[in-house]
Structures are given as C-alpha cells and as structure tokens.
Amino acid sequence: MDSIEHPVDPEMLAALVDGRLSAEDRAQVLKQLAESDEALAVFAHLVHGVPVPDQPKVVPIRPPRRWIKVLPFAAAAALPLAAVTISQLRVAVTPTGVDLASAVTAAERGGTPLAPGWDQRSWTVLRGGAASPEPARARREQLIVTFRLGVRALDLQVALAHRDVALAGRLTGDMLELLKTVGFSDIAAADYSALRTTLGTQTVDQSIDKASRAEKELGTFLKSFSFDFGKWVGAAELAARSHNASFFTDARTKRFVGKAINNEDLTREDVDALHVIAARTVAGPTNEQLDEMRGLLQEIILRHGG
C-alpha cells in the first residue's frame, strides 16, 4: 500500500469502530484504510481494544466487539474498500451448519449412509501467498476462500454428527490453513485451534457446540454470501449423494434457494442449476433426479471452490 496525503486520525478510526461516522466520513476513512498501512495498523489496535502507540487514550468508546463488522473481508485481500458495495456483502439467511448436518444425516438413520471419503471435495490445491493486486482477481480469490470455509464448516459438523473425531480434526486443520490467507482472522483461528485441541478430550456434543460458536463468529466476521452458500451447497451435494430427498423438500431449502437465485455473485450457470433444484423440490425428487442434482451441485462447487 502507498502512503496517503492525509495524516492518520486515530479519533476518526475509533469513531469508525464505534459506528459514529456519517456516510461521507465513513467512505473517506475506508478509502484511507485501503491505501495506508499506517492507518490499517492503527485500526487493528482499535479493533482489539489496544491503546494506539503514542496516543494511549484513543480507544473505542464502547467495548470492542469480538469482530469488527465495518471492515469488509476484501480489505484483507488487498481489494480497494471503495469498490466493495453493501449489496456485495449481504448475507443470505441460511440454516446453521449443525442444522444442515442434521438434515444431511437424517436419511442415514434410515439406511442410506454416506460412503467413506465423502469429505473429499474436487477443488484444486489453494496456493498461499499475497493476494493479487488486481481488484477483480483479488475479489475472485476472496470468494473462493469464503466459499471453501463455508463448505468445510458444514463438513466439520457432518463429521462430528458421525462421531468421527479424527476426520473432524483433519477438517479443522483444513479450515486453519484457509484462515491463514484471511487478514484479521486471528480470533477465528484461535477458536478453531481450541476446538482441534479439545477434540477427543471433550464429549462430541461439547465439540459440536464449540464448532457452532466458532462458525457463528466466523460468519459474522466474513459477512459474505459465499460463506453461507458454501455451507448450503456442501450440504445439498451430500444430501443428493445419499439420495436424501427430504433435504430438498424441507421449507428451509426452498427458502434459501429462493433467496440465493437473486444473488449477484452467482453465475448464469449457478442460477440455472438452482432453478432446476427449485423445480425438483415441489413434488420431491426421485433418485434419478437426485443424481442429476448432485452433478449440478458438484459443478457449482468447482466454479466457486476453485
């Protein structure tokens, strides 16, 4: 990032944390954060409630939230904040990972278990390193990471529902690797590290609760449709794989698909696939239709998961 002409104003940054800025001032401060390493460093101190060096009295008025909601995830990916609109960050209403996992595993209790290796997704290896300086590519990288985090948050809950602690540990490790590419994600990483440490020493129900709390905090931080979409698509693909028609006739699935179809982050192929799925939810899909839907969902995972 380059230096900016205007000096960093810790008071303005503190007001941003507290939500006390006008729309005009907020836009100016967000632009400064996108262009100045110094401003970003001061902002990081304020987010965590740490006094700013040389100005120890400058702290947010209200106790700092665990996550700062006004900083878009795109900042961590070096995407100019001015290019990120509220509509791009809106969150679709979706069931939690534990609810989705319960819906996925319901059919297994009737005798249709997921085969070993169900957690193997078809996306490519995600390379680490600095985010692209190109806005369009940076946003693409951001969406891939958030989508994968959503899928893995769902997979983690399914593993725990299966009482498979070893697999839950591996999936938690996958999430920690993804979080290494996300700026300001130290709290999320701490949550999932704590979960992995206690797997096997706590009851599975306690681990499910801990994973649910970590997922909620992560979703609040990312504030991204891609995270919710990843959870739902991951669950839907597993449900189709195990011929779980009840997942698709559930009112929550119909509600989510209806909202997702209008999201601007989806491609024409995504929307067409969701229309097919929506049509199948009316009367309930046959096993042949579930196989067709699984293919469509796998294609969505490849498009969004990289």
Cβ–Cβ under 8 Å, residues 155 and 164: no
Q: What are phi and psi of 30, to 5 degrees?
A: -60, -40
Residues in the chain: 306
CA neighbours closer than 13 Å in the CB half-sphere of residue 195: 34
Q: What is the pLDDT of residue 80?
A: 37
Q: What is the pLDDT of residue 66?
A: 42
Rounded Cα distance, 184 and 287, in Å: 44
Q: What DSSP letter does each residue of 73-105 carry, written as one string?
A: GGGTTT--GGG--HHHH-------HHHHHHHHH
Q: What is the pLDDT of residue 131?
A: 58
Q: What is the pLDDT of residue 130?
A: 54
Buried b (16+ CB within 10 A) or exposed e, 23-53: eeebebbbbbbbbbeebbebbbbbbeeeebe
Tens place of pLDDT for every residue, the chain, 306 residues?
Answer: 444 446 778 788 777 766 677 777 877 877 777 677 677 767 665 655 555 555 555 544 444 444 433 344 434 433 333 333 333 333 345 689 999 999 999 878 766 889 999 999 988 876 555 556 678 888 889 999 999 999 999 999 999 999 999 999 999 999 999 999 998 899 999 999 999 999 999 999 999 999 999 999 999 999 999 999 999 999 999 999 999 999 999 988 999 999 899 998 899 999 999 999 999 988 899 999 999 999 999 999 999 998
Would you list the domain boundaries of the chain?
10-71, 88-305
Rounded Cα distance, 152 and 2, in Å: 35
Cβ–Cβ under 8 Å, residues 42 and 9: no
Q: What is the pLDDT of residue 33?
A: 72
Q: Is the dihedral of CA 125, 131, 133, 139 positive or negative?
A: positive
Rounded Cα distance, 302 and 306, in Å: 6
Q: Which of 135, 136, 192 is nearest to 160 (CA)?
A: 192
Other beta carbons within 10 angstroms of residue 280's beta carbon come to: 19
Q: What is the pLDDT of residue 112?
A: 81
Cβ–Cβ under 8 Å, residues 13 and 49: no
